Structures are given as C-alpha cells and as structure tokens.
Amino acid sequence: MQTQRLRIAIQKKGRLSKECQTLLKRCGVKFNMVGERLVVHAENMPIDLLLVRDDDIPGLIMDGVVDLGVIGENELEEVSLERQARGEPSDYKKLRRLDFGGCRLSIAIDKDAEYNGPQDLNGKRIATTYPQLVKRYMDDLGVKFSTCMLNGSVEVAPRAGLADAICDLVSTGATLEANGLKEAEVILRSKAVLIQSTETLDDEKQALIERLLTRMQGVIQAKESKYIMLHAPTDRLEQIKLLLPGAEDPTVLPLAEDKSRVAIHLVSSENLFWETMEQLKELGASSILVLPIEKMME
C-alpha cells in the first residue's frame, strides 16, 4: 500500500527522538510537533513522519509499511534475528550510519566477581532485553547460558536475585557502577542508522530519498568540520600550515596594509584544539578564529 508521501518512522519519545528531529530539520524538512499525534505532515516536502516506540520501527520497515526509519543498530539487529527465527520478513537496506545514539551492548557481572573470559559465564542466567543478540554471541563462543527477559530495570536483576549477570546498553557505565556491576564483555557497538524498506518505490520517492541522503551527508560532514581563519607572518607560513589539521590546500590571501603578514582560510575536518592555537600564536599567528559550519555541499 504505497502513498504519495514518503513515510519516515522515528522514535516518538526517547534518546533518539530529539536528534532525529534536529537532523531532519537541518535537512530542510519543515514540521511542527504538536500534541500526541502519530503522524506529522511536513509542510514543505511530500514527507510524513510517523512517531512510534523504537521497538516498532524495524518491523514497520521490514513489512514495508513505512519507507524510511531511524533506529539504533541494537534494536534493529535484535528484531531482525527475532523475525528470522519466526520466519517473518527481516530484510532492510542500511542507508547510512548517523552521528548519534552511540552506545554498546555489554554483559555485566557483580563488580567483585572474578572474571577471566566468556567461559566464566558458563551456566549463568543473564537478564536482558536483547535475548537474540545474547544468544548469537554466546552460541558463537559455545558458552551455555539461560536468559531472563526484562524490558526495564535490567540492572537491578542480579541484586534482586533474578539473574547472575545482565546484558544491557551502556554509554558511560555510571548505571552499572551505581548498581555494583562491572562490564565483562562488549557484544555490540551501536549507533543510530537510517534504514529503508526493500519495497521498490516509485521514481519520485526514490529521488526524494537520494536528495535527503545528500543533505544528511552535508549536515553530518558540516557538523564535524570547522572553518578556520588566522593571520600569519609570511615567512612562517610553511611551519604554520603544518600545525593546521587537514590543511592540504588552504586559501592564502594578502592583507591590505601589512605586507609581512597573510590571512589563511581553510575548512578543516577536525576541530582546532587550544594547544594548537597556542602553538600557532607562538609562531606569530594572530586573530585566530574557529567557526562552526552550518551546511556543506561538495
């Protein structure tokens, strides 16, 4: 059942929702999130946003109900394995990894327990929201285990006597520490990804997806880049260039009055650290500016 408008499923509320919305807005998609709506129509493009629980996004893509979705790889792979096990459609196209939602799926155990490797997990009960990913990891290593499925408060399971270990998402490790646990194994490193259903779309929709992807590339690249400007003594130009990150071919411009100095402009793929700015200053550079870039197209 295809509609004229491109349908994109994003998380309604949670860790991915704000960054998803910001990314789409930066790509020029105009929309207004009001109330508790399931579908939000973009004002300036034939795009509808579907606001759902993140658990539902992989299935909506795999069943071809929506065209695009943004989802954490952890959730995507878990649902994909689950569907494969049940013989349901589990195909999707990964269009690109995004620059947010980073975390790792890790097995954690009592912080005082001795740990020498995955064999120490033999026969243990592991509480998790990701039973399929745990099974794939443990089966590959040939380690026997059992699971305890929990959709929330996984980290309290060992203390509550429900399990010996847990497998849960970690970003800083603070939650583990607060619950007397330590990370034993990282089983998956995850980020948010943009996925597409494998249904064949009409040319217009496919062209719109390509456009969005080019814009996303520009937005993400711009976020990682800086525009750097400085004045430098002409006779130290080569030394100064060596300090500038990613400066293969900077623009060098004469100054109106002072012929002993030049202006250097460049787009850098990295930030300029304080330490480098201090070194530049020692070499005689001045008026050093590091500016954020909003958009980029190559």
In the complex, the smallest distance separating the C-beta of residue 91 from ligand ATP, rounded to whole angstroms, is 20
The one among 58, 59, 101, 250 contacting ligand ATP by CB under 6 A = 101
Structure tokens at 73: 């790889």
In the complex, the smallest distance separating the C-beta of residue 76 from Mg ion, rounded to whole angstroms, is 12
The region, left, alpha or beta by phi > 0 then psi within -120 to 50, assigned to residue 171 is alpha
Query: Which residue number, 11 or 128, has a Cβ lying nearer to ligand ATP?
Result: 11
**55 sits near Mg ion (criterion: CB under 5 A):** yes
**54 sits near ligand ATP (criterion: CB under 6 A):** yes
Per CB under 5 A, which region of 55-63, 78-86, 115-123, 283-291 contacts Mg ion?
55-63
**54 sits near Mg ion (criterion: CB under 5 A):** yes
Per CB under 6 A, which region of 58-66, 69-77, 194-202, 255-263 contacts ligand ATP?
69-77
Per CB under 5 A, which region of 22-30, 54-62, 77-85, 154-162 contacts Mg ion?
54-62
The one among 16, 184, 230, 240 contacting ligand ATP by CB under 6 A = 16
**82 sits near Mg ion (criterion: CB under 5 A):** no
**168 sits near Mg ion (criterion: CB under 5 A):** no
**Chosen from ligand ATP, Mg ion, none, partner binding at 169 (C-beta under 5 to 8 Å by type):** ligand ATP
In the complex, the smallest distance separating the C-beta of residue 88 from Mg ion, rounded to whole angstroms, is 19
In the complex, the smallest distance separating the C-beta of residue 64 from ligand ATP, rounded to whole angstroms, is 21
**Chosen from Mg ion, ligand ATP, none, partner binding at 111 (C-beta under 5 to 8 Å by type):** none
Point out which residues bind ligand ATP (CB under 6 A).
11, 13-16, 53-55, 72, 74-75, 101, 103, 169, 171, 190
